[in-house]
């Protein structure tokens, strides 16, 4: 199943046949789930590794192989849970936050609301006309039918959905639309000359040439899926410059988890000076990545405009519900994708749905699918030219996961054995102190996956490309 699904994922990018250069070793399960999440994660990581090996061959003429096991593939969806600073765990956001949770409704259904940010929280409390407590929110929701509340939430452009079974979602107009889309959409958005990978005889940092050395990523993403894509590409040598609003709330555990290998700068793109600066940065970038709610960043900086500013740009978009259909403009996160796609019903039941425990499959898998799509676009740019739009969505990822069927095999304990974790844990000195975190999962025979830049607090750097990147030729090979 693993290699077949990996090839199916790659087929959707429009590339020709890619040699299978990846070995996935079997291993006892470590996830508490009915889903074939480990196998799907292995498929996604395999597809990504095949393209990395293909790019390495393009750049150097040398072949390499890659390998990992199913336990590593499982950990790739759990990394935020295993990071520590000076051996102290990094606390996750308050688990009992009243406007983030699954609640029963008057008609015996359930809704999942996801108002974790102040404006979203306030909007949901105003709609429900209740106080900010789990009891008050629950009582208010019990006064609604699930479908009516879902529509009221959507009318206010807030995040929340009715929990559905897989069959219900596949019968829904948005589910029908997504079922017809590949998990990675790769769309040509402009003409541009063939542009190979950057070349420079004197490589900096001193680590030497790596598969994505010299590739610049302008990273306007947040929380998990979007930042994970740039983190994955950074581990292969790319240089992401993460841009964040100085006025937006932060989520330290996730910011740290996805901050490896990146420069980080503040920029207020709602101001004219910030917009101008971002366009200047985009003019020198290889990849422009954004994962904010539809109609925000994508409206201010649409793909076609950036393809004019920087012919050959790879524009990455990540959404919850896809890019067309009646729900394409709805905001959402991991929990909502689980709730509509049938995952929550599968993990629990229709009477008592439940989210996955101790791992975030849609966020992390979508992030790695996004990185895979960027790799495919870079290959196509290097072989046929053009500017490209890569599109992935959390719910399409959830549907792919559900389509693989269920398994009776799952871990007997939610605690991952220490000896498994130790195979992947790394220690680095960061802007937060000594950080213990999960390193890269995939091992390559010729190159090393690692992050050259340490995690730093948001806004540590200036919004500018580092001087040493300017020495690379943009024509490349």
Q: How many domains does the chain have?
A: 1
CA distance 315 to 293: 16
The answer to whether 213 and 235 are in contact (CB under 8 A) is no
Average pLDDT over residues 83-95: 88
Q: Given strand 100-104, what is the order of strands in its sheet?
A: 100-104, 110-114, 160-162
pLDDT of residue 469 exceeding 60, the answer is yes
pTM passes above 0.95: yes
Residue 326 parent element (H or E): none
Average pLDDT over residues 69-92: 95
The 10s digit of each residue's pLDDT in 221-245 is 999 999 999 999 999 999 999 999 9
CB atoms within 10 A of CB 272: 9
Which residue, 298, 292, 293, is CA-closest to 329? 293
- Give rounded-to-5 percent helix, strand, coil for the chain: 40, 15, 45
Long-range interactions of 177-180: CB distance < 8 A, separation 24+: 177/322, 177/324, 177/325, 178/321, 178/322, 178/325, 178/393, 178/395, 178/396, 178/399, 179/399
At which residue do the structure tokens 């948005």 appear? 174
DSSP 330-399: ----HHHHHHHHTHHHHHS-SSS----SS--HHHHHHHHHHHHHHHHHHHHHHHH--EEEEEEEHHHHHH
pLDDT of residue 3 exceeding 70, the answer is yes
> CB within 8 A of 97, min separation 6: which ones?
116
The CATH number given to whatever domain includes residue 189 is 3.40.50.10540
State CA 99 to chain mean position distance: 23
CA distance 251 to 229: 17
pLDDT of residue 204 exceeding 50, the answer is no
Q: Is residue 169 part of a domain?
A: no
Q: Is residue 477 part of a domain?
A: no
Q: Is residue 113 part of a domain?
A: no
pLDDT of residue 268 exceeding 60, the answer is yes
pLDDT of residue 293 exceeding 90, the answer is no
pLDDT for the residue 31: 96
User: Which tokens belong to 381?
Assistant: 């740019």
Q: Is residue 209 part of a domain?
A: yes
Q: Is residue 204 part of a domain?
A: yes
pLDDT for the residue 471: 72
The domain in which residue 363 lies consists of: 175-403+446-471
CA distance 140 to 134: 10
Q: Is residue 256 part of a domain?
A: yes
Q: Is residue 22 part of a domain?
A: no
Strand duo 387-393 + 185-190: pairing: antiparallel
Residues facing 114 on adjacent strands:
100
pLDDT for the residue 16: 85
Share of the chain above pLDDT 70, in %: 97
Does residue 469 sit in helix, strand or coil? helix
């Amino acid at each position: 199943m693993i290699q077949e699904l990996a090839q199916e994922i790659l087929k959707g990018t429009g590339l020709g046949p890619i040699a299978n250069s990846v070995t996935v070793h079997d291993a006892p399960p470590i996830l508490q789930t009915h889903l074939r999440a480990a196998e799907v994660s292995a498929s996604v990581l395999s597809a990504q590794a095949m393209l990395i090996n293909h790019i390495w061959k393009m750049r150097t003429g040398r072949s390499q192989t890659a390998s990992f096991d199913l336990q590593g593939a499982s950990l790739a969806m759990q990394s935020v849970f295993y990071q520590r600073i000076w051996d102290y765990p990094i606390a996750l956001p308050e688990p009992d936050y009243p406007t983030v949770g699954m609640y029963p409704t008057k008609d015996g259904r359930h809704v999942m609301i996801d108002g974790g940010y102040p404006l979203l929280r306030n909007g949901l409390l105003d709609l429900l006309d209740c106080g900010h407590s789990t009891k008050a929110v629950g009582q208010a929701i019990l006064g609604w039918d699930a479908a009516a509340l879902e529509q009221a939430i959507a009318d206010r452009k807030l995040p929340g959905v009715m929990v559905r079974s897989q069959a219900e979602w596949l019968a829904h107009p948005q589910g029908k639309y997504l079922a017809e889309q590949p998990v990675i959409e790769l769309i040509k958005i402009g003409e541009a000359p063939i542009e190979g990978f950057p070349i420079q005889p004197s490589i900096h940092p001193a680590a030497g040439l790596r598969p994505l050395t010299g590739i610049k990523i302008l990273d306007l993403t947040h929380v998990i899926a979007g930042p994970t894509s740039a983190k994955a590409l950074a581990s292969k040598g790319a240089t992401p410059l993460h841009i964040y609003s100085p006025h937006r709330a932060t989520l330290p555990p996730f910011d740290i988890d996805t901050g490896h290998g990146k420069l980080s700068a503040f920029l207020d793109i709602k101001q004219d000076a910030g917009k101008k600066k971002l366009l200047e940065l985009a003019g020198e970038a290889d990849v422009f990545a954004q994962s904010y709610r539809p109609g925000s960043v994508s409206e201010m900086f649409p793909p076609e405009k950036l393809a004019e500013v920087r012919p050959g740009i790879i524009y990455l978009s990540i959404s919850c519900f896809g890019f067309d259909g009646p729900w394409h403009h709805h905001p959402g996160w991991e929990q909502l994708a689980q709730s509509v796609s049938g995952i929550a019903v599968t993990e629990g039941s229709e009477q008592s749905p439940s989210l996955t425990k101790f791992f975030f499959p849609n966020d992390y898998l979508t992030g790695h699918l996004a990185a895979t799509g960027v790799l495919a676009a870079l290959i196509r740019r290097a072989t046929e030219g053009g500017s490209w739009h890569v599109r992935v969505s959390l719910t399409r990822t959830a549907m792919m996961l559900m389509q693989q069927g269920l398994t009776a095999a799952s871990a007997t304990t939610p605690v991952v054995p220490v000896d498994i974790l130790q195979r992947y844990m790394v220690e680095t000195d960061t802007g937060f102190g000594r950080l213990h975190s999960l390193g890269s999962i995939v091992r390559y025979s010729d190159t090393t996956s690692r992050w050259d830049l340490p995690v730093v607090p948001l806004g540590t750097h200036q919004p500018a490309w580092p001087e040493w990147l300017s020495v690379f030729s943009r024509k490349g090979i």
